[in-house]
Amino acid sequence: MTSPTNTIEYPVLFNTNGLHQLNAFLENTTYSKLIVLVDNKTKIFCLPILKEAIKYSFFFIEIKNGERNKNLKTSKILWEELTNIGADRNSILINLGGGVITDIGGFVAATYKRGIRFINIPTTVLGMVDAAIGGKTGIDLNGLKNQIGIIKNPLALWVNTTFLDTLDAREIKSGLAEIIKYGFISEASILKTIEEMEMDSFPLDSVLIKKCIDSKLTIVQEDPEEKNRRKILNFGHTLGHAIETYFLSKVKKEQLLHGEAVAIGMILALHLSHQIYDLPIKKVDFYTRLILKFYAKKFKSTMGSNNYLVSKLPNITNEDLAYILPLLQHDKKNNNGQVNFILLKEIGIPVLDCQIDNYQIDIAINYYNTINTLTL
């Protein structure tokens, strides 16, 4: 039986009356202390916006930005800080940030004193369209992504797209991969919008963000505990997570953002879909080039406070693959040691629990490397 905490029974407010809506919500909520969790970036760019918006006083605690800090060590520091502040079971933690903040903040809140309430205020594209919705909380263990965690919904979710102006070009592009994902698995109209975007200036309008949020809410509502349909949200993530984990490890110094790894993972999943389900190679080619267009060397965003050029996605070498393949054994969709992929029969028609041989992954990687090399 599905526990009521794992259904969408919390307010999801989208650009509603700015952030001032939070005042109305807090006015009707009993709590002892408010604590805002930020990272070193959201402390500078987002905390002042929140301070301006809410009339209630709060404590804040800060962690270092980035997936490398989403671990047990940081969780311990947070539990200790909550203790030092005197947070009790009636306190509320507000997670102000991207996927790392809502993941670790949700996890720390869900476990502190056996669970305190938390509110998610995502500030990145990725956070808004994915991480902050659906109750997945967690941390990495020994470099393995989201190895520890529980599903627990926030008390409320506030999505305010004004926070997107605080992002740099690389973060925006990283989030774009998750938007494209919804196009492949459920909302083909999103792909049309993406096709019409310029690579050097794409306005991530709130309509597009809202479409993704609605899509995720519908999927999660149907299957809150990822027994079945929710797995489609992992399209591109099986290899994507393994690639991200590998780049986070000491073996590779340069880090890939989550969405960048997912972009590679989606291209590989498209080619695997061709190999297994005859997804026409013309379509695979078209969408591979569409994705890579946004990760080209000469990219420059007109959005954000700190624009810069970003280098293109890396090729995956045989040496990389030797590290990446064993990491697939830790994928959370695995069943009885069997690695399960989400593939596409057609665009918009995902298939769950597909089994793949390593040589097929090899073919997909060769394909990705070839097109990526050709993309400037």
Binding region for ligand GLY (CB under 6 A): 130, 134, 136, 226, 230, 233
Rounded to the nearest 10°, the torsion over CA 352, 225, 268, 373 is: 160
- In the complex with ligand GLY, the residue whose CB is nearer, 22 or 179, is 179
- In the complex with ligand GLY, the residue whose CB is nearer, 47 or 208, is 208
Question: What is the closest distance, in whole angstroms, from the C-beta atom of residue 233 to ligand GLY in the complex?
Answer: 4
Question: What is the closest distance, in whole angstroms, from the C-beta atom of residue 135 to ligand GLY in the complex?
Answer: 8
Of 81, 83, 74, 82, nearest to 101 (Cα)?
74
Question: What is the closest distance, in whole angstroms, from the C-beta atom of residue 139 to ligand GLY in the complex?
Answer: 15
Question: What is the closest distance, in whole angstroms, from the C-beta atom of residue 99 to ligand GLY in the complex?
Answer: 9
Of 186, 172, 163, 294, nearest to 234 (Cα)?
186
Longest Cα separation, the chain: 60
- In the complex with ligand GLY, the residue whose CB is nearer, 69 or 146, is 146
- In the complex with ligand GLY, the residue whose CB is nearer, 141 or 371, is 141
Question: What is the closest distance, in whole angstroms, from the C-beta atom of residue 254 to ligand GLY in the complex?
Answer: 24
Find out whether 175 and 315 touch, Cβ atoms under 8 Å.
no
- In the complex with ligand GLY, the residue whose CB is nearer, 134 or 259, is 134
Nearest-CB residue for ligand GLY: 233
Question: What is the closest distance, in whole angstroms, from the C-beta atom of residue 240 to ligand GLY in the complex?
Answer: 11
- In the complex with ligand GLY, the residue whose CB is nearer, 50 or 269, is 269
Question: What is the closest distance, in whole angstroms, from the C-beta atom of residue 134 to ligand GLY in the complex?
Answer: 4
Question: What is the closest distance, in whole angstroms, from the C-beta atom of residue 303 to ligand GLY in the complex?
Answer: 24
- In the complex with ligand GLY, the residue whose CB is nearer, 60 or 98, is 98
- In the complex with ligand GLY, the residue whose CB is nearer, 91 or 234, is 234
